[in-house]
Amino acid sequence: MLKISELAGRIGLSTHTIRFYEKHGLIEASERSESGYRLYSAADVNRAAFVKTARNIGFSLEDIAQLLSIRLDRSSHSCQEVTDITRNKLHEVSRKMAELKAMQKVLSRLLDNCDGGLEKATHCSILEVLDNGGLAATGGVN
Amino acid sequence: MLKISELAGRIGLSTHTIRFYEKHGLIEASERSESGYRLYSAADVNRAAFVKTARNIGFSLEDIAQLLSIRLDRSSHSCQEVTDITRNKLHEVSRKMAELKAMQKVLSRLLDNCDGGLEKATHCSILEVLDNGGLAATGGVN
DNA sequence: GTTGACCTTAGAGTTACCTCTAAGCTTATA
DNA sequence: TATAAGCTTAGAGGTAACTCTAAGGTCAAC
Ligand SMILES: [Zn+2]
Ligand SMILES: [Zn+2]
Ligand SMILES: [Zn+2]
Ligand SMILES: [Zn+2]
């Protein structure tokens, strides 16, 4: 049985975060010492590691809560439930990627059109674009 | 002079958001009516549109505050200051893109390895990966 | 002259995920 | 036996960008 700071060191989370995850139902200490200290079993450690891994991959705490409830009773759940969560996450990631790609494109164009020199910004093309509502049909560099 | 809801309709922000932006120094109403209503001049509208455009591109409110202070007195600032803000944003976006790409890759691999069927999740490969600390050197599909 | 849309303010609530503090036990070390 | 490190709890604070509410004043129309 590990104490909280031992668990923290083992899986790479702070004790604060572990208590926070506990409050949100993700991690449990299956026992307490006489003085009330949290004590983690091997199964608890595995569960915590599962949470950490899922978090590293990018699942939200809510996703992880769902995955955990499946993990807890695998035979009452199907692979489909797991892939649904995973696919939703993938879609979310793809959506964000598309947003970022658009931003990247606009920012690059803005930088292409401004020399970035030390002269006064009186006629700065970036400020002009921002004043004119964005990169209109008249593509800058292209 | 426009009232707040007219400005809102004009530039595509809610009145709530406009007041929120005002509280954060991004938008101003240069006048008030006798009864205290905000009244926006053409210059105010342009400023608000600038904010909206910058926000659409993805600049943070803090970035926009800086851009606005440059815009307000262009001759006291250089193009470099503008490109610094823009370049920093571009780097931030690129960093986030890299993160998302990594997530995308892992999620795709997870999905490749699980059939997603309706059978019990007893041996679900996704749960196994999560239990085993992630996609180790043993690349799944590849 | 009253309905109803619109305006005002301060301030609370939301989402996601922590991060920290205070006040007070417990345990290990010197 | 002290001293420090570590543990407990409830609850506050922080970030970003909103979003909404309450309680009330204003304005145009019918
Ligand atoms: Zn399966
Ligand atoms: Zn410039
Ligand atoms: Zn320049
Ligand atoms: Zn599966």
pLDDT, one tens digit per residue, over A31-51 is 999 999 999 999 999 999 999
Nearest nucleotide by C1' position to the A16 CA atom: C19
Q: Please, which positions of strand C sit below 7 A from a protein CB? A: 6-9, 16-21, 25-27
Q: Three-class SS string for B91-107?
A: HHHHHHHHHHHHHHHHH
Is any Cβ of chain A less than 8 angstroms from the Cβ of B50?
yes
Of A25, A31, A2, A5, which Cα lies nearest the Cα of A16? Answer: A5
* Interface membership of A94 toward B (CB under 8 Å): yes
Write the pLDDT tens digit of every residue in B37-66.
999 999 999 999 999 999 999 999 999 999
Give the 3-state secondary structure of residue A105: helix
CA of A139 to C1' of D21 (A): 45
- CB–CB of A120 and B46 under 8 A? no
Strand D nucleotides within a 7 Å radius of protein CB atoms: 6-9, 16-21, 25-27
Reported in sequence order, the residue ranges of chain A that DSSP labels E, i.e. its strands, are 31-32, 38-39
Please give the model's pTM, rounded to 2 decimal places: 0.89
pLDDT for the residue B137: 54
Q: Mean pLDDT across chain A, nearest whole number?
A: 94
What would the mean pLDDT of A81-107 be, rounded to a whole number?
Answer: 97
Q: Decide if pLDDT at A80 tops 80.
A: yes
B47, two tokens: 């400023």
What digits encode the pLDDT tens for the residues A106-137? 999 999 999 999 999 999 999 999 999 988 75
pLDDT value at residue A137: 56
What is the B123 CA–ligand 1 centroid distance (Å)?
Answer: 7
Of B70, B106, B127, the CB nearest to A70: B127
Q: How far is the CA of A64 from the C1' of C27 (A)?
A: 35
Domains of chain A, first to last: 1-73 (1.10.1660.10), 78-142 (1.10.1660.10)
> What is the phi/psi pair of residue B35, to 5°?
-85, 5
Question: What is the DSSP secondary-structure string of B70-128?
Answer: HHHTGGGSBHHHHHHHHHHHHHHHHHHHHHHHHHHHHHHHHHHH----SSBGGG-HHHH
Spans in chain B with pLDDT lower than 70: 137-142
Which residues in chain A are contacts of B67 at CB distance < 8 A?
A: 127, 130
Say yes or no to pLDDT of A138 above 60.
no
Q: What is the mean pLDDT of chain B?
A: 94
